[in-house]
Structure 1
Amino acid sequence: MARVGMREVAVLAGVSHGTVSHYLNHPDRVSAEKVERIQRAIQTLGFVPNNAGRQLRLGSSTAIAYIAPDVSNPYFATIAEGVEQRAAKSGLSVFIANSNRSRAREDAYLELFERHQVRGMLVASHEGVEDRLAAVRQRGTPSVLVGQAAASPDQPSVSVDDVAGGFLAAQHLIGLGRRRLAFIGGPLGIRQLGDRLDGASAAIRESGSATLEVINLTERTIAGGHAVAKALLERPAALRPDGVFAANDLIALGLLQDLVLAGVRVPDDVALIGYDDIEFAASSIIPLSSIRSPHEAFGIAAVELLLAEIAGESAERHQIFPPELVARSSTVGGGRR
């Protein structure tokens, strides 16, 4: 079936092609009587405006893009909710893309959204992406780096103080009397994870008596937590950590499930804390302690920074949120025996 165009709308409404164009792009220039006729024609014919062509003519877009590394992770999904909430207030729609932690897919989305002339991009990446965003910015598309502090003063970013978050997590376990700690996460070359480990290591040094084992993972998923649990359960109980800091809640939840099923008492035998405080943390079989970052506020702040960049305003380019310790039964008692 052929696509209905502006010419067909003009004929049915009894107006010129230019009047229909004005209705779509400058409705204030069209009389109320002609607006009503054009609207009836559009409804009758099922006409859908070609916004892509309109944006090319006007040199602007009504959309921004958010590229996330893993939209199946509730942490990034909640950020997306904040992004959409704030964008809608400014009349903007949001394209959401999942790079699936792939550099090639991330590059493809950067190119795609630039070609579609979005107003700007929000990019959460586990790769070094600032040089690529700088190139896109020089060609006219602004961006905000989400989830890590930018190294360049010219690259706006929204992040959490992950060094402070790692310190809070390890300090909490140490304060509960745990001395054989383990940090589970990776790859450690990812800046956010390296910062969390640095913070935990600082707490260990400050304690003067605790130790920290580092278990490097390639996947920060529930399956990754299961794999670590299997390895730990193969050890004699005396050689297992008595306090575990997981780099995110998904790892912690997978680990928690297997430990409980194997009869390990949480938190009596092993105290466990995660990171991000996703929705499922509080409702797990044993409520999970976690380090909270402001999920929806994170997305809202990222959009506001992007809007300031689009407007050319001299706003603060780097916003760093403080983390918060949320202590639940996986560390402070009430565990299953």
Structure 2
Amino acid sequence: MATIKDVAALAGVSAGTVSNVLNRPSYVNAETRERVLAAIRELDFVPRQGSRQFRPGRVRTLGLSIANLDNPFFVDVALGSEERCTELGAGVIFCNSSYDPVRESHNLDLLVQSRVQGIIIAPVDEKSSRLAMLKDRGVPMVFVDRVGDDRECWSVVVDDFRGGQLAMQHLLDRGHRRIAFLGHPEKSQKVRTRLAGARDALTGRTDVELELMAADSWTIEAGAAAADRLAERAPANRPAAVACANDMLALGLQHGLMRQGIRVPQDIAIVGYDDLAWSEVADVPLTTVRQPRKALGRTAVDMIMDLLSRPPATVPARNHVVLQPELVVRESA
């Protein structure tokens, strides 16, 4: 039977490099990794599963891997997790992936090497092979926010379909009939779900026009760019209201419109999504759909503590918790 040293010799690398390919593939460059994998296939090498199983440390410490801490939404999720860990006497290690899947892989490797007892993750890519590998090794994980409801995992999310319904219904109740949705549904499942909810609220409403306005990201800058595009149109060709995929788009849109002399909400009403701290103190306080951001983080901690308390054989493959959004009415719509 081939050993790890046989694989190393055939691939022309050290045994440590072979171990990294098996356990921390993001640490090995693509060319070397492929050479090692080819040697594994040629020798029909099978690692001893016992040596690859996850062995957590004794200290009650959790890992938290966040898609991007530049986004205030994720900051609040992280704060909620940290608050709950403090209440439970547990530590937490934060990692910021900056929407970079390679950086996320490095962060996950770091957390495993740090022997955290479990990982809470708002993933850059929920279908990453690295996440599947960690699951196979028995690493306890709870997904937050960025995960499909059909995935076999433990997760906590907000009902984005309902959130989209709330935003659109509010604009309908305000009498708006020319409405735009600002976002990037082609890039984000969450935006697609919010848009689907908004469209559902329009079922049977033949008197309403819905325009999809493209945004290349979730940012304030993308919202401001959308405002510039609207300002170039004749007033009669502009929507009377815009439902935005998140608050940063909404705040950028509001600032950009007002800079161009377009009044909010008299000329164009705006609804956001998130209810960030900035939204209440905007020049025109933002009407928005509130996500229970800290509750997401707190619930994720409770879920992973529950998962860790159970014998592995009794843990269900799927535990999907859905929190509800709430409409917050202010002055922008």
Which of the five TM-score ranges fits, normalised by the shorter chain? 0.7 to 0.9
| Gap change, CA 1:100 and 1:58, over 3 Å in 2 | closer
| Gap change, CA 1:204 and 1:135, over 3 Å in 2 | same
| 1:328 corresponding residue in structure 2 | 330
1:150 CA drift (Å): 4.2
1:296 CA drift (Å): 1.4
Q: Report how many aligned residue pairs link the two structures.
A: 276
| 2:156 corresponding residue in structure 1 | 158
1:153 CA drift (Å): 5.9
Q: Deviations over 1:27-63 (max 9, x none)?
A: xxxxxxxxxxxxxxxxxxxxxxxxxxxxx99843432
Aligned to 1:292, which of 278, 290, 293? 290
Q: Does 1:74 align with 2:72?
A: yes
1:263 CA drift (Å): 1.4
Whether the 8 Å contact between 2:177 and 2:208 is mirrored in structure 1 is: yes
More displaced 10-residue stretch of structure 1: 56-65 or 105-114: 56-65
Q: Does 1:318 align with 2:320?
A: yes
Aligned to 2:332, the other structure's residue is in SS state helix
| 2:121 corresponding residue in structure 1 | 123
Distance 2:305 2:281 in 1: 36
Aligned to 1:306, the other structure's residue is in SS state helix
Which amino acid is 2:321 matched to? Q
| 1:180 corresponding residue in structure 2 | 178
Whether the 8 Å contact between 1:122 and 1:146 is mirrored in structure 2 is: yes
| 2:138 corresponding residue in structure 1 | 140
| 2:243 corresponding residue in structure 1 | 245
Whether the 8 Å contact between 1:174 and 1:207 is mirrored in structure 2 is: no
Aligned to 1:177, the other structure's residue is in SS state coil
More displaced 10-residue stretch of structure 1: 145-154 or 304-313: 145-154
| Gap change, CA 1:147 and 1:206, over 3 Å in 2 | farther
1:268 CA drift (Å): 1.2
1:130 CA drift (Å): 6.5
1:128 CA drift (Å): 3.0
Aligned to 2:142, the other structure's residue is in SS state strand
Which amino acid is 1:209 matched to? D
Which amino acid is 2:330 matched to? R
| Gap change, CA 1:86 and 1:66, over 3 Å in 2 | same
Aligned to 1:110, the other structure's residue is in SS state helix
| Gap change, CA 1:228 and 1:242, over 3 Å in 2 | same
Give the TM-score normalised by the residue count of structure 2.
Answer: 0.78
1:221 CA drift (Å): 0.6
Aligned to 2:281, the other structure's residue is in SS state coil
Q: Deviations over 1:227-261 (max 9, x none)?
A: 11111111111111111011000010011011112
In terms of Rg, which structure is larger?
1
- Give the 5 Å matches for 1:1-337: 59-129=57-127, 132-151=130-149, 154-312=152-310, 317-331=319-333
Whether the 8 Å contact between 2:70 and 2:98 is mirrored in structure 1 is: no
User: Structure 2: which 5+ runs fail to align?
Assistant: 1-53
Whether the 8 Å contact between 2:97 and 2:124 is mirrored in structure 1 is: no
Distance 2:276 2:206 in 1: 32
Distance 1:138 1:75 in 2: 30
| Gap change, CA 1:272 and 1:311, over 3 Å in 2 | same
| Gap change, CA 1:131 and 1:207, over 3 Å in 2 | farther
Which amino acid is 1:305 matched to? M
| Gap change, CA 1:256 and 1:309, over 3 Å in 2 | same
1:148 CA drift (Å): 3.8
Give the TM-score normalised by the residue count of structure 1.
Answer: 0.77
Distance 1:323 1:243 in 2: 21
Q: Percent identity?
A: 36
Aligned to 2:202, the other structure's residue is in SS state helix
Which amino acid is 1:219 matched to? S
Distance 1:101 1:234 in 2: 32
Aligned to 1:133, the other structure's residue is in SS state helix
More displaced 10-residue stretch of structure 1: 233-242 or 119-128: 119-128
Distance 2:235 2:272 in 1: 21
Whether the 8 Å contact between 2:225 and 2:256 is mirrored in structure 1 is: no
User: Structure 1: which 5+ runs fail to align?
Assistant: 1-55, 332-337
